[in-house]
Amino acid sequence: MIEVRNLAKYYGSVRAVDNVSFTIAEGEVVGFLGPNGAGKTTTLRVLTCYQPATSGSAKVAGHDVFTESMAVRREVGYLPESVPLYPEMRVREYLHFRGKLRGLDRSRRNAAIARVSERCWLADVINRPISQLSKGFRQRVGLADALLHNPRVLIMDEPTIGLDPAQIRETRSLIRELAQEHTVLLSSHILPEVEVTCRRIIIIHRGKIVASGTPAELRQRISAGSQLIAELKGPEAEVTAGIRKLDGVSDVHSEPADGWTRVTVSARHDLREAIYKLSAEKGWPLRELRRDVASLEDFFVKIVAGAHEAEG
Amino acid sequence: MRNTVAIMQRELLSLFFSPIGYIVITGFLLITGVLVMDSFGPGKPATLRSVFGFTPYVLTFIVPAIAMRTISEEYRSGTIETLMTAPVSDVQMVIGKYLAALVFYVIMLASTLIYLILMMIFGSPDMGASLSSYLGLLLVGVAFTAFGVFASSLTRNQIVAWIVGAVPLILFVWFAGFIVDRTEGWMRDAFQRVNVVRHLDQFNRGLVTLEGLVFFVGAAALFLFLTVKVVESHRWR
């Protein structure tokens, strides 16, 4: 559905997007993840035909974004980061305007507006001027606009930015719903969001793709593996030595915790049972035992930091 | 085509919603109203020529005020992004906005018909000359609006758009006589061809010239073309 090959975009001498290639199949929900300034918005702008690429190619729904721009625009619903709207218009008027631009005649427009205002919970504000709406509602209006013509592809730039937690949750569940009927590409710098809504993540940093895969695949790539945390009542040195002897331990860090010893263990596999047995064997009471699976956040920070180091 | 109409409708709504629109119309009617008072008096010829003669001077800053928001506001609010990613061509957008500003101008101009009607009540003005005067003013609006829209496409700031639109027009119209007096030969001839005041004088005297028609319409076409080019160039930045 979306094919990008060796896409590059320069703003003057600044390299915003550098040799980016990826493919998104129909029905996929893909998240573009990256720190601010990574090139996410630029890539989305090329895909939505707002700006042309400096080099490379991009195709959406089989149409080239440069040579078949109008065809691409008909297939795409775009929600820009700034959610630009006309403050003097009422929501209904705005949606009618956008519907006309999409080529919908009056009856189809009315039906479409009814559909999207229900989907995006706009029924209460449909006759209100946009200037009176809160950020959350404006976001929904923007999303409603993107959905009006029932496009095959939805492209959203930071769809939950500036929303309060309740609105964020609603928007995310809406995105998951939409994913069932549309191909979705969204960008974000908020990791939990991408983790929760997307089936596949593309991490972009300084214009280059540094990682791509499902959240599970990405997590497995962390070499640190899992960490175990345990608190045992015993002399720190002995506890540390005892744990270090366990099979598969790569690193042990210990610190006293009001009479107990708190150990953080890096290991290749789950050593919880082994630690329990050790505590029983040595007679050290055990009051905490848990395993922290590496989070995507660690991965993200690591990847971005790693990319930093690689560049020097 | 439908896109152009949709954009025109939206822009017209915006023009009538904004207070600037009403300030402009009020200002215009106030100025022309004061000017027209002179034409009404016992024994005076029943003609609005003095008003029509002065109106283009007023239009040099009034018309750019109508057009100043058309494109600059899209830049400023960011809605240019949703417009340019919709299946709308840049030409359709520019023409749609231009037509909205022009319709607004025509409505404003039409409101001065009251003076003509008053004159018809108290005297018998030359209808032919009056009609040709209005045609002249209409054509001035056609050209000035295109220039105003062009100025609007150059900046995201409305006020700058207004100034960039008004100043060249003011120089062109208010200093027309000055330039004609101080030049000669081919320079003078060249200027006279694009001299708005001279063309309008002819319309005011009842002379509808093809030259005038071509000049005003051609100028509008030129500036609309340039506007489309400027708007297109925004994609490449």
Residue-by-residue DSSP string for B138-193? HHHHHHHHHHHHHHHTT-S-HHHHHHHHHHHHHHHHHTHHHHHHH--HHHHHHHHH
- With respect to residue B237, please indicate whether it lies within any of the assigned structural domains: no
The answer to whether residue A253 scores a pLDDT higher than 50 is yes
**Residue for token digits 């691409």?**
A72
Task: Please tell me the distance in Å from A202's CA to the nearest CA on chain B.
Answer: 24
Interchain pair A93, B6: CB under 8 A: no
Strand order in the sheet with A2-11: A14-24, A2-11, A55-60, A63-64
Q: What is the mean pLDDT of residues A13-39?
A: 89
Q: What is the pLDDT of residue A94?
A: 96
What pLDDT does A259 receive? 86
**First-to-last CA distance in chain A?**
36
- Our CA dihedral for B67, B70, B73, B79, rounded to 10 degrees, sits at 180
Task: Give the DSSP H or E segment for A193.
Answer: helix A191-197
- Contact between A51 and B236 using a beta-carbon 8 Å cutoff: yes
Beta-carbon contacts of residue A141 (< 8 Å; ≥ 6 apart): A83, A85, A91, A94, A95, A120, A122, A130, A133
Query: B231-234 — which CB contacts under 8 Å span 24+ positions?
Result: B231/B71, B231/B90, B231/B93, B231/B94, B231/B153, B232/B90, B234/B75, B234/B80, B234/B84
Residue partners of A132: CB distance under 8 A and separation at least 6: none
Instruction: Walk across the sheet containing A260-267 and list its strands.
Output: A249-257, A260-267, A226-232, A286-292
More confident residue, B119 or A98: A98
Residue A311 in this model has a pLDDT that exceeds 70:
no
Q: How far is A307 from chain B (nearest CA, A)?
A: 28
Average pLDDT, chain B: 91
Residue B13: closest C-alpha in chain A? A89
Contact call for A80 and B3, based on CB within 8 A: no
Residue B78 has its nearest CB partner, among A82, A101, A145, at: A82
Residues B132-158 have a mean pLDDT of 95
pLDDT for the residue A225: 58
pLDDT on residue A165: 87
Domain total of chain B: 1
A43 and A32 in contact (C-beta within 8 Å)?
Answer: yes
Per DSSP bridges, beta strands A286-292 and A29-33 are: unpaired
For residue B77, which residues of chain A lie inside 8 Å, CB to CB? 84-87
Burial (Cβ within 10 Å: 0-12, 13-18, ≥19) of residue B167: middle
B18–chain A Cβ distance below 8 A for any pair: yes
* C-alpha–C-alpha distance, residues A128 and A121, integer Å: 14
The domain in which residue B174 lies consists of 2-228
Are A35 and A203 contacting, i.e. CB atoms less than 8 angstroms apart?
Answer: no
CB pairs under 8 A between A and B: 69
For residues A214 and A197, is the Cβ–Cβ distance under 8 A? no
Q: Which of A166-170, A175-179, B43-47 has the lowest mean pLDDT?
A: B43-47
The ipTM, to two decimals, is 0.89
What integer pLDDT is reported at residue A312 of this predicted model? 46
| B119 located within any domain | yes
B141 in a domain, yes or no? yes
For residue B234, tell me if it sits in a domain: no
Contacts of residue B61, Cβ cutoff 8 Å, sequence gap at least 6: B162, B166, B169, B170
Residue A218, token pair as written in the block = 């990405």
Q: What class does CATH assign to A2-220?
A: alpha beta
Distance from C-alpha of B205 to C-alpha of B49, rounded to nearest angstrom: 8
> What gap in Å lies between CA A229 and CA A173, rounded to an integer?
34
| pLDDT tens-digit series, residues A208-218 | 888 888 887 87
Residue B68 within a domain: yes
Closest CA to A20 of A166, A206, A158: A206
Query: Does residue A254 sit in helix, strand or coil?
Result: strand
* Per-residue pLDDT at B226 exceeds 90: yes
Alpha carbon of B118 to those of B33, B99, B121, B137: distances in Å? 12, 30, 5, 19
CA distance B174 to B197: 9
- Residues A223-247 have pLDDT tens digits of 455 678 889 888 888 888 888 888 8
Q: Where are the domains of chain A?
A: 2-220, 226-293
- pLDDT tens figures, A77-90: 999 999 999 999 99
Task: Reply yes or no on whether the pLDDT at A272 is more than 50.
Answer: yes
Residues of B in contact with A85 (CB under 8 A): 77, 79
Is B236 inside any structural domain?
no
Cβ-Cβ contacts under 8 Å, A97 against chain B: 6, 9-10
Tell me whether residue B75 is in a domain. yes
Within 8 A of A95 by CB-CB distance, chain B residues are none
Q: Taking a contact as any Cβ pair under 8 Å apart, which residues of chain B between 115 and 174 contact chain A?
A: none
Check A97 against B10: CB less than 8 A apart.
yes
- Is B233 inside any structural domain? no
Does the beta-carbon distance from A93 to B13 stay under 8 Å? yes
Contacts of B173 (CB under 8 A, 6+ apart): B56, B57, B60, B196, B197
- The alpha carbon of residue B80 is apart from the nearest alpha carbon of chain A, in Å, by 8
The correct answer on CATH 3.30.300.210 for the domain covering A226-293 is no
Beta pairing class for A153-157 and A76-79? parallel
**CA atoms of B152 and A58, how far apart (whole Å):** 32
Helix, strand or coil for residue A126?
A: coil
Residues on chain B touching A65 (C-beta within 8 angstroms) = none
Average of per-residue pLDDT across B114-141: 89
% chain B with pLDDT above 70:
100
* B17: chain A residues, CB-CB within 8 Å: 88
Q: What is the rounded distance in angstroms from the CA atom of residue B98 to the CA atom of residue B217?
A: 13
